[in-house]
């Protein structure tokens, strides 16, 4: 399939941008909750480390501004340009993943080398790398859709690139990012038309490989097993999870009130990043948790609705990208919340659009911009069935 076949063809695109209002509402609401939570969860640690209670909130506002710029950029780029740039994006992703592992280049924090120092900020390379790989995969599916359905090698080629990226992520180590990337890639390729038997075999192999890698490292094995009974070692391996569970339990139905949580006061590690959900549950209770979950459900609903609308119009790239972004954001939110609730081992993944962190927030905003762009282009073209009826008329 040619690049031109994936771009809006018939008719004239409307002058006004076609916004997905539900998606915008959910994203803006999550961003607002995120700012409130970052301020509440970080006030104690910010005051202790910098003497400025709202130090992290101020930085998050700067990151949000940069994220809006990234979203605006992605809104303005026609989808077909991403298809043409797919190999450049893939090369850029691997350049980031390799550069961070070079001696003296990557910045080490808590035993992991995941960041590149860029002046006053640190770039977590897995965030933009995963988005660039997803753009490559969506472009590959659009161009190679016919052979993807009939030739095994057309399936193995992009999967090989994804596997190599996962190896580089595990070298940092970043097991959570590797897991989400592999899950997203398999979902996009399956939706792109890969034969079910090929997909089933690769799914089993991927699960086995991730399991072997997890069991082969003492560090990862300890994190995988500690979540099963965190109370067995509550002051060491199980400390993060026990404090998170205490915070969630204290929230009960309606929470203790904004700012009144105590677990964030030097008890719960990474309260404003990986465990911000626990702070939210403590201060807003089950009612607040259900509200947040509803907002994420809206984001997933709109991502999959955009993918379905694009598929009905024959826009393969648009459908693949929207579907992949939905799987990615949904999987990362699920993993983060699961970790906070003790359902999954600690992975170090942020809560999309909510947790503190420049790399995560900016890339998530870029993902939202891409979703809005492909949604606009999908709605600007009538469905294939309507086009055929118009031609007959």
Model confidence over 274-298: pLDDT tens digits?
899 999 999 999 999 999 999 999 9
CA atoms within 13 A on the CB side of 248: 18
Mean pLDDT of 228-242: 74
pLDDT digits (tens, 9 = 90+) for 116-175: 888 777 889 999 999 999 999 999 999 888 887 777 788 888 888 998 999 899 888 888
Per-residue pLDDT, 294: 97
C-alpha to C-alpha distance for 145 and 189, rounded to whole angstroms: 10
Out of 2-16, 47-61, 78-92, 314-328, least confident range:
2-16
**More confident call, 145 vs 92:** 92
| Contact criterion met (CB below 8 Å) for 302 and 20 | yes
**More confident call, 388 vs 365:** 365
pLDDT band at 225 (very low <50, low <70, confident <90, very high): low
Per-residue pLDDT, 187: 87
pLDDT of residue 26 exceeding 80, the answer is yes
Token pair of 115 as six digits: 């960041």
C-alpha to C-alpha distance for 221 and 210, rounded to whole angstroms: 12
Mean pLDDT of 334-357: 89
Mean pLDDT of 175-193: 87
pLDDT of residue 321 exceeding 90, the answer is yes
Per-residue pLDDT, 162: 92
C-alpha to C-alpha distance for 33 and 361, rounded to whole angstroms: 13
pLDDT of residue 69 exceeding 70, the answer is yes
Out of 45-54, 210-219, 342-351, least confident range:
210-219
pLDDT of residue 233 exceeding 80, the answer is no
**More confident call, 25 vs 358:** 25
pLDDT of residue 77 exceeding 60, the answer is yes
Per-residue pLDDT, 213: 65
C-alpha to C-alpha distance for 307 and 319, rounded to whole angstroms: 4
Per-residue pLDDT, 262: 86
pLDDT of residue 340 exceeding 50, the answer is yes
Mean pLDDT of the residues in the chain: 85
Query: Using only C-alpha atoms, what is the Rg of the chain?
Result: 21
Rounded to two decimals, the pTM is 0.88
Q: How many CB atoms lie within 10 A of CB 163?
A: 18
C-alpha to C-alpha distance for 15 and 376, rounded to whole angstroms: 11
Per-residue pLDDT, 219: 60
């Amino acid at each position: 399939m040619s690049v031109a076949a994936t771009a809006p063809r018939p008719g004239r695109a409307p002058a006004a941008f076609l916004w997905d209002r539900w998606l915008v509402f959910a994203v803006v609401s999550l961003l607002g909750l995120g700012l409130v939570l970052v301020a509440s969860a970080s006030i104690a640690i910010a005051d202790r480390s910098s003497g400025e209670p709202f130090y992290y909130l101020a930085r998050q506002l700067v990151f949000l501004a940069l994220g809006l710029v990234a979203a605006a950029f992605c809104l303005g780029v026609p989808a077909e340009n991403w298809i043409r740039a797919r190999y450049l994006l893939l090369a850029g992703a691997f350049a980031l993943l390799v550069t961070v592992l070079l001696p003296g280049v990557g910045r080490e924090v808590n035993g992991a080398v995941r960041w590149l120092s860029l002046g006053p900020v640190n770039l977590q390379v897995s965030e933009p790398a995963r988005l660039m790989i997803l753009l490559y995969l969506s472009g590959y599916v659009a161009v190679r859709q016919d052979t993807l359905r009939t030739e095994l090698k057309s399936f193995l080629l992009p999967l090989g690139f994804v596997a190599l990226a996962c190896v580089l992520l595990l070298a940092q180590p970043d097991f959570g990012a590797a897991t989400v990337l592999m899950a997203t890639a398999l979902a996009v390729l399956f939706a792109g038309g890969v034969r079910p038997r090929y997909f089933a075999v690769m799914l089993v192999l991927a699960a086995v490989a991730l399991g072997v890698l997890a069991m082969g490292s003492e560090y990862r094995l300890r994190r995988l097993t500690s979540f099963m009974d965190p109370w067995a070692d509550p002051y060491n391996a199980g400390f993060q999870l026990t404090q998170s569970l205490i915070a969630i339990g204290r929230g009960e139905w309606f929470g203790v009130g904004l700012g009144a949580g105590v677990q964030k006061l030097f008890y719960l590690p990474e309260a404003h990043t990986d465990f911000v959900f626990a702070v939210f549950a403590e201060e807003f209770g089950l009612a607040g948790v259900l509200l947040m979950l509803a907002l994420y459900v809206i984001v997933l609903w709109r991502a999959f609705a955009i993918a379905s609308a694009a598929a009905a119009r024959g826009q393969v790239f648009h459908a693949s990208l929207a579907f992949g972004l939905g799987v990615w954001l949904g999987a990362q939110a699920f993993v983060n919340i699961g970790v906070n609730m003790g359902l999954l081992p600690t992975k170090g993944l942020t809560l999309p659009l909510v947790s503190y962190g420049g790399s995560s927030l900016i890339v998530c905003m870029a993902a939202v911009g891409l979703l809005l762009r492909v949604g606009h282009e999908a709605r600007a073209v009538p469905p294939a069935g309507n086009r055929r009826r118009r031609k007959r008329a």
